[in-house]
Amino acid sequence: MNYPVIKGTAYALVHAPNLLLVQGSTQNMERAKNPYSEYLRKLPQHLRSFSEVVNYPPNQAYIGNLLPDELNNIAKPWYENPVQGDSQGKYGEIMDEALFYALLKISDAFDLVMLEKSFTEELKERIASHPLFAHQADLLKEGYGLEDIEMRIQDHKAEELHFDGKLVGCVKRAHDWDVNLNAHVMLENLVVKASGVLALKNLIAKNDLAPEEIEYIIECSEEACGDINQRGGGNFAKAIGEVCGCVNATGSDLRGFCAAPAHALVQAAALVQAGVYKNVAVVAGGATAKLGMNGKDHVGKGMPVLEDMLGAFAVLISENDGVNPVIRTDIVGRHNIGRGSAPQAVMEALVTDPLDRAGLKITDVDKYSVEMQNPEITVPAGAGDVPNANYKMIAALGVKRGDIERQQLGDFVAEHGMPGFAPTQGHIPSGAPFIGYARDLMLEGKMKRMMVVGKGSLFLGRMTNLFDGVSFVIEANSGESAAGAVDTDAVKKVVAAAMRAVAERLMEEE
Amino acid sequence: MDLENQARIKELAEKLGPENLVVILGGAEAEASGLAAETVSNGDPTFAGPLAGVSLGLPAYHIFEDAIKNLVDPQVYDDQVSMMEMVLDVDEIIKEVSTYREQYAKF
């Protein structure tokens, strides 16, 4: 089979402490219920600076500067053991909040983002030196007077944008009455778009791609854009592609809670393998609602509020080039509707069923990229170490099947797993974060096979109690495809020569 | 404990009578399981949900506890739960849940 390949990946983070305060759902609910609470009072003292988030080891791992396994060698808590970080990474970058406001403005097609004049001037200078956005500096326009911005906030319920303790702008509502176009939703959606742009631009730049080559974009985050008559009408994908110069692409949005990226990657692979499109980009922007989601636990335990990062990623799936790792579209796991939602049933459907079909043992997969949430965020909130629990479940399944002995359970987790390193942005940690490293390790001949496991909790939408998940295997390219094409030609020549010989013999016989 | 689940349990207790109700937990973690056991017996300690200040006195068991496990068809238990038994800290979970049950359950 001529499998599609992972041609490139990009991972980006945005430091968003002010969006956390204004837009995070936990903070919003607390303000509504208990505006003078101790939590809201203490929260600002627990926010991190930009240099702290750059030097935070899991963030360096996310953008490609620190192999996740190396986190095992860094003492915990990681927030007290910084590394010498870089805002630029092998796979992407960490952007500060002010520059991200500029990106919000650049991504704003309806003049909804108002940035203050002097702040705009500062941003123009900064954006002019950013390699990916310098050519779009004019889109920042002239900026607005502070009175104008304050009036929009007071009289028209615009959402505030703060930086360094100052009001620097706002996002207006896009309609007077439509709840799906109010200022809160517009800011949330513009953040998805702008962070998606950051990931896709990095994908194109870091992998020497031409934006014109991309034929289709699948956006797989968790928000919905549309108006009162079509709440999730779309289309983030095309909107992101437009800002990135993907003039030959169309696209669509795919939703499936945290499992959406895995669904999207399988669909992208299928579109390429079927020959519908040559290059399909899977892109996801970040979620403002989840900023500071577990803030109460973090503040209560005297920690920094670690959910101050918006996450984004992009992956390009392309035709087999005989070099890049392939997506084994014949080793795909799916949590089918009739399967039941017990964790055991889910893991069997996603891990052992597809491996069984391919005649593989769980130990034949070098690394599993599961729900890669940073445990330093989830453990204090009582949600446990999510990737570690996933690895233990896979190992336990292996014990039940006889692939490994019970006493090897811990070794399996250490060898085939890795520490969680992704921000808790729902879809962002789910399966996708390790694809970049896996691609590099496979290109270097240091890894043969990995499995991406994406899972989603559908009950949150109150439409079904079913669980969901999709998985697939990525494998080092055997090079057979390129060689195979040559072989086919050679076979054709041999057959043609034989046919000619037969024909000549027949004619001689006549 | 999830606010909607608190509302459901409160409603069931009112409808069926708390003496006719046992809560079976499937929590993956000791602290959260204990919190759920406390909520359905003594009331919501976080004072956030419908069971805040409401002591239903319901006995809560974790599915891992022998009293419940022995009632389940062994094949079903093996298919649905045995993998998690290998993964989770069973002793810690049972200890936490039974502590709250012994302290606050009225039935």
pLDDT at position A490: 47
Residue A131 lies in a domain: no
Element (H, E) at A449: strand A449-457
Q: How many helices (H) and strands (E) does chain A have?
A: 19, 13
Does A483 score more than 50 pLDDT? Answer: no
Q: Which two tokens stand for residue A453?
A: 């496991």
Instruction: Indicate whether A132 belongs to any domain.
Output: no
pTM: 0.90
Which of B87, B89, B92 would you mutate first to test chain A, the one with the most A CBs within 10 A? B87
pLDDT value of position A495: 59
Q: What string of DSSP letters covers B40-78?
A: HHT--TTS-STTTT------EEETTSHHHHTTS-HHHHH
Q: Between chains, do A342 and B29 touch, taking CB under 8 Å as contact?
A: no
Residue A504 has pLDDT above 90, yes or no: no
Residue A118, domain member (yes or no): no
State the residue for tokens 């010989």.
A501
A62 within domain boundaries: yes
Give the Cα separation of A434 and A415 in Å (integer).
15
In a domain, A210, yes or no: yes
CA A248 to chain CA mean position, Å: 23
Q: Grade residue B28 by pLDDT with cuts at 50, 70 and 90.
A: confident
Q: Identify the band that residue A225 occupies on the pLDDT scale cut at 50, 70 and 90.
A: very high
Question: Chain B contacts of A345, Cβ < 8 Å?
Answer: 79-80
Report yes or no: A320 and A478 within 8 Å, Cβ to Cβ: no
Nearest to A399 among B31, B81, B86 (CB): B86
Under 8 Å between Cβ of A316 and A7: yes
pLDDT digits (tens, 9 = 90+) for A8-41: 999 999 999 999 999 999 999 999 999 999 999 9
Q: How far apart are CA A379 and CA B69, in angstroms?
A: 28
Rounded CA-CA distance A104/A276 in Å is 33
Query: B80 to chain A: which residues are within 8 Å by CB?
Result: 340, 342, 344-345
* Least Cα separation, residue A286 to chain B (angstroms): 25
Amino acid at A433: P
> Number of folded domains in chain A?
1
* Domain CATH for A404: 3.40.47
Q: For residue A508, is pLDDT > 90?
A: no
Give the best residue of A39, A301, A344 to mutate against chain B (max B CB count within 10 A): A344
The answer as to whether A14 is a domain residue is yes
ipTM reported for the complex surpasses 0.90: no
Which residues lie closer than 8 Å to A325 by C-beta, 6 or more apart?
A5, A6, A438, A439, A442, A443, A474, A475, A476, A477
Q: What is the DSSP string of A453-487?
A: EEEEEGGGGTS---EEEEEEEEE---SHHHHHHHH
Confidence of residue A434 (pLDDT cuts 50, 70, 90): very high
Closest residue in B to A396 (Cα–Cα): B83
Residue A491 domain-assigned (yes or no): no
* One-letter amino acid of A387: P
Residue A136 maps to a domain: no
Per-residue pLDDT reduced to its tens digit, B84-93: 999 899 999 9
Instruction: Please check whether residue B13 is in contact with residue A369, taking contact to mean a CB–CB distance below 8 angstroms.
Output: no
- The domain in which residue A415 lies consists of 5-112+173-478
Q: Where are the alpha helices (DSSP H) in A163-288?
A: 183-206, 236-243, 260-273
